């Protein structure tokens, strides 16, 4: 009785191998491995991973937040309290530091200067990025790739190398100590041009071909079709350029000397230079100069994250 069964089994295995399928033994091994891979993860393992991940997030967050906490606490303590552990853990809520720091510099003027410079720079950088990105991404002209490569090559040049030539040019055209020198040189973003170009290059050409057949001009295709489709890149460029300009220090510090046109970061450095030993007042100034940009990011964080995710997909495409 066993011989015919073995013969049938061997014949089935030979037939399966001839047909390119796994034999009965191999099939059983595959099914067992599949069932093993589908075994559910034990609740304890999943809970342990979640606890470990949350603990890691908390530790990293504390590392980043500790300097901000120290500055905030120092701004509320008295001058001689910042060295003690008790004052760091339990501040004295000495709000007079903020009044003294606010009265020491023309902060309202500095904030208005910064808002004007950052807004104008972001708007100009967005306009140049959209126009250049549209040209590099969709228009066909001789030398397009070479010109785009030259634009990208600017990223390879360290900014400090150009400070002296830029200063001499600004002096020759009488732009020193003006708003223009703080806005115009940063009105073209290489990263923004690259980002918009990648978005436009990933769009179906049939959309613009159909618009051209309907008689739409280049400007109409750019404004009515192209710009709405690259809205995530618009959000990223506006937020990045605005925040970078708001936090800029070296360029306006070198190019300006009057508080009437200086941004808040330069004003903060001037305040630290006039009374650098007043650490509590300086900490208070750091806090109220950081709050506006922090609030700006918190209000727009959802748009920033959404735009970043969409931008990553557009660049990959």
Residues in Cβ contact with 245 at an 8 Å cutoff, skipping those fewer than 6 apart:
114, 117, 118, 121, 122, 186
Over range 140-162, report the average pLDDT: 90
Residues in Cβ contact with 229 at an 8 Å cutoff, skipping those fewer than 6 apart:
199, 203
At the top level of CATH, the class of 105-274 is: mainly alpha
Mean confidence (pLDDT) of the chain: 82
Q: Which residues of 260-275 are buried (b: 16+ CB within 10 A; e: fewer)?
A: ebbbbbbbbeebbeee
Q: Give the model confidence (pLDDT) of 66-122 as tens digits.
A: 888 888 888 888 776 665 665 667 667 778 889 988 998 899 999 999 999 999 999
Structure token digits, residue 257: 């000397």
Q: Give the model confidence (pLDDT) of 279-311 as tens digits.
A: 888 889 999 998 888 888 888 777 767 766 665
How far is it, in rounded angstroms, from Cα 269 to Cα 256? 13
Q: Give residue 3's pLDDT.
A: 45
How far is it, in rounded angstroms, from Cα 115 to Cα 262? 11
CA 203 to chain centre: 23
Could you give the C-alpha distances from 190 to 156, 187, 208, 310, in angstroms and in order? 11, 10, 25, 19
pTM: predicted TM-score of the whole model, two decimal places: 0.76
Contact 236, 220 (CB under 8 A): no
Q: Give residue 8's pLDDT.
A: 44
């Amino acid at each position: 009785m066993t011989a015919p069964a073995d013969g049938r089994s061997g014949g089935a295995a030979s037939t399966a191998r001839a047909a390119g399928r796994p034999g009965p033994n191999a099939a059983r091994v595959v099914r067992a491995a599949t069932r093993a891979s589908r075994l559910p993860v034990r609740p304890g393992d999943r809970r342990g991973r979640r606890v470990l991940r949350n603990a890691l997030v908390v530790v990293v967050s504390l590392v980043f937040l500790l300097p901000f906490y120290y500055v905030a606490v120092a701004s509320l303590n008295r001058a001689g309290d910042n060295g003690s552990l008790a004052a760091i853990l339990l501040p004295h809520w000495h709000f007079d530091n903020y009044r003294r720091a606010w009265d020491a510099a023309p902060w309202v003027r500095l904030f208005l200067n910064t808002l004007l410079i950052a807004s104008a720079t972001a708007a100009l950088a967005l306009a140049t990025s959209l126009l250049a990105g549209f040209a590099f991404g969709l228009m066909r002209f001789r030398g397009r790739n070479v010109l785009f490569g030259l634009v990208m090559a600017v990223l390879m040049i360290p900014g400090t190398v150009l400070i002296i030539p830029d200063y001499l040019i600004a002096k020759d055209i009488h732009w020193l100590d003006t708003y223009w020198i703080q806005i115009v040189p940063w009105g073209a973003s290489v990263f923004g041009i690259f980002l918009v170009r990648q978005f436009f290059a990933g769009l179906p050409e049939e959309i613009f071909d159909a618009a051209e057949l309907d008689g739409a001009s280049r400007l109409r295709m750019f404004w009515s079709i192209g710009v709405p489709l690259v809205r995530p890149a618009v959000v990223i460029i506006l937020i990045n350029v605005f925040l970078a300009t708001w936090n800029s220090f070296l360029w306006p510090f070198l190019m300006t000397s009057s508080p009437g046109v200086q941004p808040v970061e330069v004003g903060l450095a001037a305040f630290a230079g006039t009374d650098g030993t007043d650490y509590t007042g300086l900490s208070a100034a750091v806090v109220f100069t950081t709050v506006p940009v922090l609030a700006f990011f918190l209000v727009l964080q959802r748009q920033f994250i959404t735009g970043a995710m969409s931008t990553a997909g557009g660049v990959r495409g």
